[in-house]
Amino acid sequence: MTRGSRGRPRSGDPAWRAPLLGLAGIAGSLLIWELLPRAGVIDGRYLPPASEVIAAAIGNLGSSIFWSDVYDTMLAWAVGLSLAALTATATGLLVGMSPFLRRYTHSTIEFLRPIPSVALIPLAVLLFGIGIESALMLIIYACFWQVLIQVLYGVADVDTVAMNTARSYGFSPLQRVRDVVLPTVLPYFMTGIRLAAAVALILAITAGLVIGSPGLGSAISRAQQGGAITGMYALILATGILGVLINLAARWVERRALSWHTSVRAELAA
């Protein structure tokens, strides 16, 4: 691994340098976090030292309550994300492939899309109380638009020549969708899923914090109200790690699903 660095001292850095610096950055941040309350810059009651929080977080790993909270959060995340992805893809293909529908739904979609999903919190509480359905409603609403917009972009990007070729070769509509539209839409769809995966976690946690639907969010708010500050920070740390894992998984799936895709798409569509 270190071979490249010795031969050519000026051209680029050795491969291990970036991960090592990254680790140093994490260690440095943890050290600052440890020292701030120890030195009394921030009251230790409000920000416990890193070592105590990490110890509590590791302790959580042996707790069945913690894992059942993780399960509830991830269940809402997975169900909400899948339902949103399915409905949005179906709607997106249907609307995107019909010029008539595209033209007539544009204003409605552009109007409904920016409505913040948290605006639906009171409605969700009224309809579903503190059950998982409240979380699902918020997640599905928010993720639906993320995926739908990407699928619409994708369908709009389908090559007209390829489409006309398929048509003149007598492809049935279903074949055209499968062989022409879907391969073009897939990269856009994956971008939408990657964004929606992060949004779904935010809303799964928010629903717990604000509404009290089961999961890590409500555990955080319980810990806060019970004055278990170290426990609260341990749970927050866990949600952050969960977020990182979801991001990594989404990127991995995206790379796998698009390994055949020759063009390297710009990430700007996000």
Partner 1 sequence: MSIARRLLSTALALFALPVLLLAVWWGYTLGGSSFFVPEPVQLADTFVNTWITGERLTEDVLPSLQRLVLGLFLAIVLGVLLGLLVGLNKTARSLTEPVFEFFRALPPPVLIPVLMLTIGVGTEMQVAVIVSGCLWPVLLNTIEGVRGVDPVQSETSRAYGITGFSRIRHQLLPGAAPPIMAGVRQTLSIGLILMVISEMFATSSGLGFTIVQFQRSFAIPEMWSGIVVLGMIGVALSFIFQFVERRVLRWYHGLKEVENAA
Residue 96 tokens read as 């995107």
Distance separating alpha carbons of residues 113 and 88, to the nearest angstrom? 12
CB count within 10 Å of CB 257 equals 14
183-217 burial, b at 16+ Cβ within 10 Å, e below that, comes to ebbbbbbbbbbbbbbebbbbbbbbbbbbbbbbbbb
How many Å is the Cα radius of gyration of the chain? 23
Question: Whole-number minimum distance, CB 24 to partner 1, in Å?
Answer: 6
Question: Whole-number minimum distance, CB 12 to partner 1, in Å?
Answer: 9
Which of 4, 14, 25, 59 forms a contact with partner 1 (CB under 8 A)? 25
State the number of binding residues for partner 1 (CB under 8 A): 62
Q: Are 208 and 217 in contact (CB under 8 A)?
A: yes
* C-alpha dist (Å) from residue 36 to 22, 41, 45, 54: 21, 5, 12, 15
Q: How far apart are the first and last CA of the chain?
A: 34
Residues within window 181-210 making contact with partner 1, judged by CB under 8 A: 198, 201-202, 205-206, 209-210
Q: Which stretch binds partner 1 (CB under 8 A): 50-58, 80-88, 114-122, 171-179?
A: 114-122
Which of 14, 59, 122, 129 forms a contact with partner 1 (CB under 8 A)? 122
Question: Whole-number minimum distance, CB 42 to partner 1, in Å?
Answer: 7
Decide: is 74 part of the binding site for partner 1 (CB under 8 A): no
Contact residues for partner 1, defined by CB under 8 A: 13, 17-19, 21-26, 28-29, 42, 46-47, 103-108, 110-111, 113-123, 125-127, 198, 201-202, 205-206, 209-210, 217, 220-221, 224, 229, 232-233, 236, 239-241, 243-244, 246-247, 267-268, 270
